[in-house]
Chains A and B, each alone.
Chain A
């Protein structure tokens, strides 16, 4: 039931306004900028939260569309899937801002940094609340553009090189989406997101076209989701400051790709159509390869952030695989993993950032014994790493559980094995990091006082606690939302 409200639009506009406010603040107004940034993201989270009750009651709050052309309108609308993504992004942004305040202390270009940081929140909210393919595309490109300055923030040659690669990949991905959008325009003008899509009646006679558009769309979003072989931009983008890597490249950007895939699969197409096109299995196999390859490549990295980046590739594969299973359990697993992985991976990136900030070291073999220098940081890192492996009672366990259920339910036991093999690989690349950090002799000494800035440490600890909470209290937190999405879609 559509309800008119300005809240979805506000979710996009508040960060935009906040970003502009930060832009006009003089560079040396650190305190004011911090207050402004925090206020913006908090306000935004309140807006998102206020959307939650109506959505959970089955309403679909919608802002008045902005009509550009006939059949071409920007629509912002909240449905359960939007809420899942928006809530994750909205809450993580607060932590990321606090963390950034600690991390960026003393660094130059803070005004620019926070401007784009908040701006990309607006884009992410736009992605989350997009009501049709066109809006999604627009916010998608918007996200690419406003994260680009963050990637090249350090201004080094390497950063520019990576930034160029990033923007080429993502814009090409966007191009694919746009092409598909045009192709579909003739059948479903506007391509609004409806549960089950609206393509079913046009299936006969348009199979090739539908299949082509489908592949284009999935490929386009898969670029952002860094599915191998479309992943090359992601490791390079790790030159960005840690909070950027954490939020954008582990959470917002890549997740918006995965989110887009889910939108395509369930809101433009639907399981029946896809099955009749017969594309889901081949894609699932490709994603499985991406999962395994990502994990194997992660194993071979000797730089901590790169290892985390490749791990992201593997984990993003889970979400897309879950969606591609086309079963309720699979999709539940995908959505839950979208939430859970966000919390875990941001924790890991935050920890990596703290390590880099405090020790200046990023190569794994330089990090032997770092647990002595950063005990709490490494504790959080270890817990989050264990969580990604799938250890109870951390949250990723639950999403993996649903993913395996989904693959068993579809009679596709092989994907269960993919997930398990990847879990083993996760163990193989996370455990040595932790073990070496704690138990190998290094040159590190114990810290006096705080091991790192509280502005970084405290968000990390709270996020770790959130990972536990999302595991232990999943019934209250993540699962109802996922179930709502399932109810909405199936």
Chain B
């Protein structure tokens, strides 16, 4: 492809959702059908463009460019294998979730604002994946967070505002820390470009300071304990699609940033020598155990999913901070595995919450009788979370464990297993009580379900199971559920190959 054409195409990965968001704001008076098509198209185009990038990338074409905007470095993009992997993940989930959200947000008075900000946030996420240096990264990182803030406080209740402000301050702090680190690195090394291998060569106090700053920034975004406080509240208060976007995409930008810091700014071998990543191993382990343990006692389904997310991101950070090829591959693979798994769980949770009219797990008994399809998908995703083969998480756990063993830390395998067990302990009961122990038609949520059906019928729409719901609910759930396990069964685990190739560049 012609370089200019490539540049234009790549710019449109970010620009399409941004323009779409703007257009949505301008078209807020027009018909719902038009707006829905606009949302779909704005998320579909990036997906298509990204898919087309695979060819040039494989041929080894140089996919990078710096625009002379925004000094001191200029905006730049760069697509390497790892970036492509993240980008593909982001655009895919952006597309799927936006389809789901169209149905979920139906009837919401402020849906236009929600979708406009969602598209803008997605544009920010895509920008993060495409960023060619840390300033560009920072730009989109902050932008995405600000837009996400609007999604968090969507309902504009006191509680959601509180949750939103908590998120906002933590994310601004993260941004400031990232800024400091970026400036230090630029000053010390004269570059912030990604993909150059380790920029830092000397373990100076300033470099350490920058490292800490990076960790604070990305740790906050990835909800690493003890920087996780924003997450459960934000998830519980935000509309569900926003939580999905955060869980499947935004948390991952934190992990991705960390990966870039480790791989491109410091270099894994440098960090191994400096030993700076060591504390992260402990923090990540703490995240894993604490997140899982707290999830266990939550009765609010969304909160349980949120705390579980803290644990799962702990896996990713653990893998990265082990500084070992297999572990990093496991972590990067887990980025995808977790996105599919948690995405499915969230989407199903949304359908169930709508269907049962409650968010309390204890009131979801018998959900499987009312919404068998949804709860089957939920169960499959729950088993994925537990780490059952052949689902994706098994593979990530495998590599993480292998990496831990290579590093001589078999106890971490134990940590992963304890967490898996806790996962089982907090996900399986939901699946079990959905199907078993409550005779069909006598669920606790029966009355609510009836009430809901009546109102839904009055509104002329259904949000029950796949049958009652629209394809916009069913299809995303099905696609994500298939994604939870399909790669394990294919003859070639295609994402794993990409991950391995991407990670290899660091070692």
Contact = CB atoms under 8 A, between A and B. Distances in A.
Contact of B68 (A386, A441, A475): A475
Nearest to B137: A392
A148 B74 CA distance: 44
Interface centre among B161, B175, B179 (most CB of A within 10 A): B179
Nearest to A329: B187
A474 B175 CA distance: 21
Contacts of B187: 405, 408-409
A431 B156 contact: no
Interface in B18-69: 68-69
A475 B66 CA distance: 14
Contacts of A397: 179
A475 B73 CA distance: 10
A41 B90 CA distance: 51
Contacts of A392: 70, 135, 138-139, 142-143
A441 B156 contact: yes
B71 A479 contact: yes
A427 B149 CA distance: 14
B274 to A, nearest CB: 19
B257 to A, nearest CB: 15
Contacts of A400: 179
Q: How large is the interface on B (under 10, 10 to 19, 20 to 34, 35 or more residues)?
A: 35 or more
Contacts of B176: 390, 420, 423-424, 427
Interface stretch (B163-171, B357-365, B370-378, B429-437): B163-171
A321 interface: no
Contact of B70 (A393, A420, A432): A393
Contacts, number: 91
Interface string B176-214: 110110011011000000000000000000100100000
Nearest to B186: A405
Contacts of B385: none
Contact of B156 (A404, A405, A417, A440): A440
Nearest to B165: A435
A49 interface: no
A416 interface: yes
Interface string A415-457: 0110010011001100110010001110000000000000000
B184 A440 contact: no
Is chain A's binding surface mostly helix, strand, loop or mixed? helix
Interface residues of A, number: 35
Contact of A404 (B150, B175, B183): B183
A321 to B, nearest CB: 15
B175 A391 contact: yes
A423 B143 CA distance: 16
A435 B168 contact: yes
A408 B156 CA distance: 42
A389 interface: yes
B168 A472 contact: no
B428 interface: no
Contacts of B70: 392-393, 398, 471-472, 474
B153 A435 contact: yes
A439 B142 contact: no
B72 interface: yes
Given A391-B142, A392-B135, A431-B169, A474 B206 contact: no
B73 to A, nearest CB: 9
A472 B74 CA distance: 8
A439 B74 CA distance: 34
Given A392-B135, A439-B156, A431 B71 contact: no
A473 B69 contact: yes
Nearest to A474: B71
Contacts of B227: none
Contacts of B69: 393, 472-473
A48 to B, nearest CB: 24
A423 B169 CA distance: 11
Nearest to A422: B176
A401 interface: yes
A424 B206 contact: no
Interface centre among B138, B150, B176, B177 (most CB of A within 10 A): B176
A439 B162 CA distance: 11
9 contacts: A408-B206, A416-B183, A420-B176, A431-B172, A435-B161, A435-B164, A439-B153, A472-B69, A475-B68
Closest 10 CB pairs of A and B: A392-B139, A427-B172, A404-B183, A474-B71, A475-B71, A472-B69, A420-B176, A439-B156, A393-B70, A439-B153
Interface of A: 386, 389-393, 397-398, 400-402, 404-405, 408-409, 413, 416-417, 420, 423-424, 427-428, 431-432, 435, 439-441, 471-475, 479
